[in-house]
């Protein structure tokens, strides 16, 4: 059995779903191992380097949950992220099934450029890894009603 020494939980591993070259370059600056999950037929030459992993799988299909359990779970990723609409849904599946870091929808909108205060997308990766961003407190606060229940 071949073991990945970096998957022992001591090093951060980030699953990046549906990456383009820009996202891959940004992710490489974070100093953690990157595991790319791409749709079959997606270009790979600009993404993969000697320290990254790559999987070609239909992350929109019904078998994706099985892939997450069988392939990604043993890697012990810290988080799963994406900067595309299709990839965000898949990252949510990964984070839900593995209990890894996720990002609230409002912050995702801001970080992916769909909100009024969008950034370059690298903030999304930093946030998923638990690194501080300097977000406004209101961006990260869960409404009290959600925390306390709505009384019904």
pLDDT in tens, 101-121: 766 555 555 555 554 444 555
Strand ranges across the sheet with 33-38:
53-56, 33-38, 13-17, 79-81
Task: Note if the pTM is more than 0.75.
Answer: no
Average pLDDT, the chain: 72
The highest-level CATH class for domain 5-148 is alpha beta
pLDDT at 70 over 90: yes
Domain layout of the chain by residue ranges = 5-148
CA angle 22, 84, 92 (to 5 degrees): 120
């Amino acid at each position: 059995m071949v073991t990945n020494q970096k998957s022992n939980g001591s090093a951060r591993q980030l699953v990046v779903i549906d990456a383009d070259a820009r996202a891959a370059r940004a992710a490489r600056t974070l100093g953690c191992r990157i595991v790319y999950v791409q749709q079959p037929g997606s270009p790979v030459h600009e993404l993969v380097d000697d320290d990254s992993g790559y999987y070609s799988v239909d992350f929109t299909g019904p078998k994706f949950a099985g892939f997450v359990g069988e392939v990604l779970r043993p890697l012990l990723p810290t988080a799963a992220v994406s900067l595309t609409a299709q990839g965000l849904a898949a990252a949510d599946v990964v984070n839900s099934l593995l209990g890894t870091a996720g990002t609230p929808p409002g912050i995702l909108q801001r970080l992916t450029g769909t909100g009024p205060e969008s950034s370059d997308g690298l903030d999304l990766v930093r946030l998923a890894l638990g690194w501080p961003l300097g977000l406004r407190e209101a961006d990260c606060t869960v409404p009290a009603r959600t925390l306390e229940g709505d009384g019904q």
